[in-house]
Structures are given as C-alpha cells and as structure tokens.
Amino acid sequence: MPFVMMCGLPSSGKTFYTNKLADYMRSINKNVVILNENPFMKDKNSVYLDSSHEKELRGNLKSEVQKFMSKEDVVILDYLNYIKGYRYELFCILLCNLNNLK
C-alpha cells in the first residue's frame, strides 16, 4: 500500500515530480492513482480565499485517498499539504488501512 504525499509551495515542482514518479512506477508495472485538487475546484482563487472552502477541499481529498488505498495501488497525493494536522490525519488513515489489510 504505497502512499506518497507531495508537499511544497505552489509552483515548486510537485506536479512535475508526481508525473515523473508515476511514469517510473508504471514502467515497473505498478497501478498508480494520482490525486489532486483539480476535480474539486471551479476557481482556485475563491477556494484559497475562504478557509471553509479549503477545508471542504481537504476533506474531499482525504476521502479520495481513503477510497483508493489498497495493497496493489500506488496512491500519490499532489497537493500543498502545508497543514501539519492534515498530514497527520492522512498518516493515521494509512496506519488504519495497514492494520485492516493484515
């Protein structure tokens, strides 16, 4: 159950390296799921101006991570991930899934 969380400032190369990593994983016959904020956002500026919209976006991404975690898939979360508590929640989800799959 590989899970990769990309963290960094906007325009720092997260998506570039996500795509490079995904290409490599696919070349060794791994199933890769890339999750980012694009399907959930209509207007990027309005989401980041209102903290309640951003909180909803983080919740949507967290539920997508939970949905796609499996033993076979490599899940890559390509998002800012600048909130320590959010990263810890994702870590706890990973641990919970590890225990459930044993």
* Residue 46: per-residue pLDDT: 81
Q: What percent of the chain has a predicted confidence (pLDDT) above 70?
A: 98
* Residue 47: per-residue pLDDT: 82
Tokens of 63: 């539920």
Query: pLDDT averaged over the chain?
Result: 92
Model pTM score: 0.90
Q: Identify the sign of the CA torsion 59, 64, 69, 70.
A: positive
Asked if 46 contacts 53 with a C-beta cutoff of 8 angstroms, the reply is yes
* Residue 102: per-residue pLDDT: 62
Asked if 60 contacts 40 with a C-beta cutoff of 8 angstroms, the reply is yes
Which residue numbers in the chain have pLDDT < 50? none
* Residue 99: per-residue pLDDT: 81
Tell me the per-residue pLDDT of 10-36, one tens digit each, with 9 for 90 and over: 889 999 999 999 999 999 999 999 999
